[in-house]
Structures are given as structure tokens and as C-alpha cells.
Structure 1
Amino acid sequence: MEKVTAGHDALGDFAPKFAELNDDVFFGQVWSREDKLSARDRSMITVTSLVASGITDSSLKFHIQKAKENGITKEEMAEVLTHLAFYAGWPKGWAAFYIAKEIYKE
């Protein structure tokens, strides 16, 4: 997995410790444990968690893009979001589909 610098890029000057934890621990140490859980599975879990929590902002967009890069197909993403909408809520499903549709059209 390539090094993530989003924390440093967005918040490095304002909150350097948070940026370090985001980039080095969360995206570094946690996401790199692919011997325990694949990046593909982590992506699916992350998208599900964000949608279920009602987080349909740039975080969800980033993680749906990451899911695509980690091998989750358009058909699989549509199935995940359809299934999830019944558990997390229909409006959350709609919001997630709008984001996913944009990402998978590319």
C-alpha cells in the first residue's frame, strides 16, 4: 500500500500529531496488516461503516475510490450498497449510490 499523506497535507500545520496518527498509524500500521485482512475487505468494511454512520462526505468518496482501487467491482459495490441500505437506512443508501455512481463511471 502506498504511503498516505492526507493528514499531513490537510492538517499538518494545524494539527501535526493528528496528521501523524492519521498517516502513520491509521493508514500506515492498521491498513498495512494485509496478512490479517486484505485491503479489499478493509475497504468494504470501511465503506459500510461510513454509510451506516451517515458519513457521506469526502471521506466516503475517498474510501469508495479506494475500494475500487482495491478491486471491488461496480457490481459488487452496488450489491454492498443495496444490502446496506436495508440495514443502515434508505436515504443513506441513496447518498452513497450518488457518490459510487460518479466514481465507477470513470
Structure 2
Amino acid sequence: MVKVTAGRDALGEFAPKFAQLNDDVLFGEVWSREKELSARDRSLVTVTALISSGILDSSLQFHLQTAKTNGITKEEIVEVLTHAAFYVGWPKAWAAFRLAKDIWSN
């Protein structure tokens, strides 16, 4: 897994502890536990959780790209977003589809 430095890059000087927890614990320890849950499956869970929470910004874009990198196909993300739409809300699904379409079209 690629070392994530997004926390330090964005908030390192402003909120160093949060940045450290983001980079070292969330991504360094939790995401690295592939024996317990594959990176592919973690991506599915994370994308669904972000959409459910209404987080439809660059965080979702990052995790959609990560999902693609982790092997989620266009057909699978379309199915996940279609299924989730009935639980999370149609407007959230539309927003997620716009981001996913850009990512899986490249």
C-alpha cells in the first residue's frame, strides 16, 4: 500500500496530531490490515459510508479513485451506487455518479 501523507500535506502545521492520526493510524494501520479485510472491500465500505454521510467532495473523489485502483470495476461501482441510492438518497447518488463517471471514464 502506498504511504498516505494527505493529512500532513493539508493539515500538518495547523493540526499535527489529527494529521498524524489520519496518515499513520487510519491509513497506516487500519487500511493495511488486508488479512482481515481486503483493500478492495475496504474501498467499497468507505465509498458507501462517505456517500451515506453526505460527504460528496474531494474525500469521496479520492476514495473512488482508490476503489478503482483497488480493483473495483465500472460495473461494480455502478451497481454499488445504484443499490445505495435507495438507502442514502437519490441526490447523493447523483453526486457520487458524477464523480465516478469522471474517474472510470479515464
**TM-score of the superposition, structure 1-length normalised?**
0.99
Distance 1:53 1:88 in 2: 8
Aligned to 1:45: 45
1:2 shift after superposition: 1.0
- 4+ runs of 1 displaced by more than 6 Å? none
Alignment of 1:87-98 (within 5 A): 87-98=87-98
Q: Which amino acid aligns with 1:13?
A: E
Aligned to 1:55: 55
1:23 shift after superposition: 0.2
Distance 1:29 1:9 in 2: 19
Distance 2:7 2:48 in 1: 22
Distance 2:61 2:2 in 1: 18
Q: Any gaps of 5 or more consecutive residues in structure 1?
A: none
Q: CA RMSD in A?
A: 0.5
Q: Percent identity?
A: 73
CA deviation profile, 1:46-105 (whole Å, cap 9, x unmatched): 000000111100000000000000000011000000000011111111010000001111
Alignment of 1:29-40 (within 5 A): 29-40=29-40
Aligned to 2:71: 71
CA deviation profile, 1:15-34 (whole Å, cap 9, x unmatched): 11111000000000000000
Q: Any gaps of 5 or more consecutive residues in structure 2?
A: none
How many pairs does the alignment contain?
A: 106
